[in-house]
A and B are shown apart, each in its own frame.
Chain A
């Protein structure tokens, strides 16, 4: 048995050497931070096309809310938000990509749920976007509520919590419907725009993206029901507490900065602020960066490159963008929302 095992190992080594191009397998002994530093960039899994969250602009540069989360971590580590390589991942392979080390952070519209957290070998960072599943229908159908959708065909994407949420919503009401599931999100949208389905369902933020792409967005209405809770949170591999702390506190820095009124524009002035928490956040005082294994100016670097949470939101999703989302639950706790950063202390 020992012999066969070592022979197996030898064979596998030979195979790997032969193939020569080995995918970036995680060395379990090495921390993600070390790996990232050595590589010189973060591998960041994102949605292939999701306007507002992750999309390539007309110059081919990837932009969006999810993209900015990875850029924040990059700014924290490298003092440069652009040391990121984006890996577009569809819903089917995203978690495997994290598990196998193909990406360091999965910053994609994925829902933090119990079974994913407990059984997939994953850890979730803080919720960056409080979302919920909604439905959208063409305005001419004159649908006022999701409960009217009996016998309707509904277009979905596979492999998300979407399909089960829909069933959970309709089953108690005894409403029958037809589901048409597409792997390819282009086909999924087109099927809806062409009238193959009477409604489309996904997270409300994503519905806004779909609507933004339509020839005439005003022909589509998002129905009032939010049929599920979808706390969207970036995902990392389990058992790397340092990496998790870096992710967590990069995001809390964005939120905390908004609480304290620190913006991209005034961050240099704020370095002189008397507020001790701002001082710690921006690395003027205390060794908070060192505790994470980073430069003490990490917080300053994040805000300097990206602005605070509110600025990131407004730039990518806010009322002035094509998505035109309002803050809703994604407002600071001090303003009636759910965003709350633990103290920098």
Chain B
């Protein structure tokens, strides 16, 4: 760039200078507006005698949250309760993302199927899910679960000790201890080792052309660390069996209807959008790629997996990121069907303490932070699959 004149008017006509100036003005005004609103709010709150500050986060919450991943008791603090809510939000969103991606991929491919019935079904699926608000679907799934399944006292025992009722699916579970966590970690380690071995073998095959049998090594890597861990820490194998009590099933692990309805609702709605993204991604790959792959003798399934999808991913990833983001934000509808996510816990907190502005600020920050993390991750992934020009 060359600044071709020193005079102020000329500078104003410099495109780059103007671009920067506009941005500075825009950001500046937003910051000023923010400051003004902040000072205004603080002043008004003080005038109206409304308590402010985040001190309430360390007070005892005193309410029950029934479904938490992390330990939480009513005697814990509001801050702890909100954390449990955040973990619940992340938990349900993460599973929904996985489910939505898998379903979306299949439906997207089915949309392009040469079988007209399959294509039509996929089309109907997408249209039905995309054109009705998610909230209505949440009510629908929840109502279906709660009204079509029997009450817990008449729960169906679908397998020995496995019960299905309108309070969810209850299965026997291990009483989890630290020892179990260690075994699980060992299993993860084994998995990582297995992947490493496999990669090495592939790299070797590419560089030398030699093929080796790798599966025994992978199997060893998968089995040995957990076995060793089991031998060393000796985890208890106490199984907690669900039993019918007077009201509920006690013991075992439970998949609750609120979680299930939200998971299904989020995943199905997002999968319809993802299906469309996948379809457009596949369509963006030129016909010549199909023809070339067929000319090499690849079957359709392999062509899709090895040739078309990797190229389609370049188109798919950016809009997929926004699908994930809206799925994550939509998880806040949880409150309508009684799943204790961040919004529900914060709402309860706000109402008990009356400190709404702080509460809203917390969940804005959390949603913003987590959304940015999703974006960053997806951008990183995008840069990996993006077309690299060498």
**Chain A residues proximal to chain B, CB less than 8 Å:** 4-5, 7-9, 11-12, 15, 28, 91-92, 95-96, 99, 115-116, 119-121, 141, 148-153, 155, 158-161, 163-164, 166-168, 171, 177-184, 187-188, 190-191, 194-196, 198, 237-239
Question: In the complex the two chains form, what is the Cα distance from A237 to B47 in whole Å?
Answer: 12
Contact A183 B74, beta carbon cutoff 8 Å: no
Known contacts A8-B36, A158-B344, A182-B337; is A153 also within 8 Å of B352 by CB? no
Enumerate B243-301 residues with CB–CB distance to A below 8 Å: 245-248, 250, 257-258
Chain A residues in 8 Å Cβ range of B36: 5, 8-9, 11-12
Question: In the complex the two chains form, what is the Cα distance from A194 to B74 in whole Å?
Answer: 27
Show 16 A/B contacts (Cβ-Cβ < 8 Å), sorted by A: A4-B32, A8-B35, A95-B351, A95-B354, A121-B48, A121-B50, A150-B247, A153-B152, A153-B248, A163-B348, A167-B63, A171-B74, A187-B336, A187-B338, A195-B146, A195-B152
Question: In the complex the two chains form, what is the Cα distance from A238 to B36 in whole Å?
Answer: 24
Contact A182 B351, beta carbon cutoff 8 Å: no
Contact B151 A195, beta carbon cutoff 8 Å: yes
Summarize A's interface: helix, strand, loop or mixed: mixed
Contact A119 B354, beta carbon cutoff 8 Å: yes
Contact B167 A183, beta carbon cutoff 8 Å: no
Picked from B48, B167, B351, the residue with its CB within 8 Å of the CB of A99 is B48
Chain B residues in 8 Å Cβ range of A177: 64
Question: In the complex the two chains form, what is the Cα distance from A153 to B79 in whole Å?
Answer: 25
Contact B338 A238, beta carbon cutoff 8 Å: no
Known contacts A4-B35, A119-B354, A158-B351; is A196 also within 8 Å of B62 by CB? no
Picked from B248, B250, B258, B354, the residue with its CB within 8 Å of the CB of A198 is B248
**Chain B residues proximal to chain A, CB less than 8 Å:** 29, 32-33, 35-37, 39-40, 45, 47-51, 62-66, 74, 139, 142-143, 146-147, 151-152, 166-167, 245-248, 250, 257-258, 335-338, 340, 344, 347-348, 350-354, 356
Q: Separation in Å of the A184 CB from the closest CB of chain B?
A: 5
Contact B63 A96, beta carbon cutoff 8 Å: no
Contact A164 B62, beta carbon cutoff 8 Å: yes
Chain A residues in 8 Å Cβ range of B66: 153, 178-180
Given A153-B247, A158-B348, A179-B63, list of 5 further CB < 8 A pairs?
A115-B354, A119-B50, A183-B336, A187-B139, A190-B146
Chain B residues in 8 Å Cβ range of A158: 335, 344, 347-348, 351
Contact B248 A159, beta carbon cutoff 8 Å: no
Q: Separation in Å of the B46 CB from the closest CB of chain A?
A: 10
Chain B residues in 8 Å Cβ range of A167: 62-64, 74
Question: In the complex the two chains form, what is the Cα distance from A168 to B62 in whole Å?
Answer: 8
Chain A residues in 8 Å Cβ range of B51: 119-120
Q: Separation in Å of the B240 CB from the closest CB of chain A?
A: 14
Contact B351 A92, beta carbon cutoff 8 Å: yes
Q: Separation in Å of the A74 CB from the closest CB of chain B?
A: 25
Which residue of chain A has the shortest Cβ distance to B250 in the bound complex? Answer: A151
Question: In the complex the two chains form, what is the Cα distance from A322 to B187 in whole Å?
Answer: 62
Q: Separation in Å of the A301 CB from the closest CB of chain B?
A: 31
Contact B248 A179, beta carbon cutoff 8 Å: no
Contact A163 B63, beta carbon cutoff 8 Å: yes
Question: In the complex the two chains form, what is the Cα distance from A28 to B139 in whole Å?
Answer: 42
Contact A96 B29, beta carbon cutoff 8 Å: no
Known contacts A151-B247, A153-B248, A187-B139; is A164 also within 8 Å of B50 by CB? no
- Among A92, A95, A150, chain B packs the most CB atoms within 10 A around the CB of A92
Which residue of chain B has the shortest Cβ distance to A186 in the bound complex? Answer: B139
Question: In the complex the two chains form, what is the Cα distance from A190 to B147 in whole Å?
Answer: 9
Known contacts A163-B348, A177-B64, A194-B146; is A120 also within 8 Å of B50 by CB? yes
Question: In the complex the two chains form, what is the Cα distance from A224 to B62 in whole Å?
Answer: 24
Chain A residues in 8 Å Cβ range of B37: 12
10 interchain residue pairs of minimum CB distance: A8-B36, A159-B351, A195-B151, A121-B48, A163-B63, A152-B247, A119-B51, A121-B50, A183-B335, A120-B354
Question: In the complex the two chains form, what is the Cα distance from A161 to B351 in whole Å?
Answer: 8
Which residue of chain B has the shortest Cβ distance to A3 in the bound complex? Answer: B32
Q: Separation in Å of the B362 CB from the closest CB of chain A?
A: 15
Contact A159 B151, beta carbon cutoff 8 Å: no
Which residue of chain A has the shortest Cβ distance to B49 in the bound complex? Answer: A121
Contact B347 A151, beta carbon cutoff 8 Å: no
Question: In the complex the two chains form, what is the Cα distance from A222 to B143 in whole Å?
Answer: 25
Contact B352 A161, beta carbon cutoff 8 Å: yes
Chain B residues in 8 Å Cβ range of A184: 336
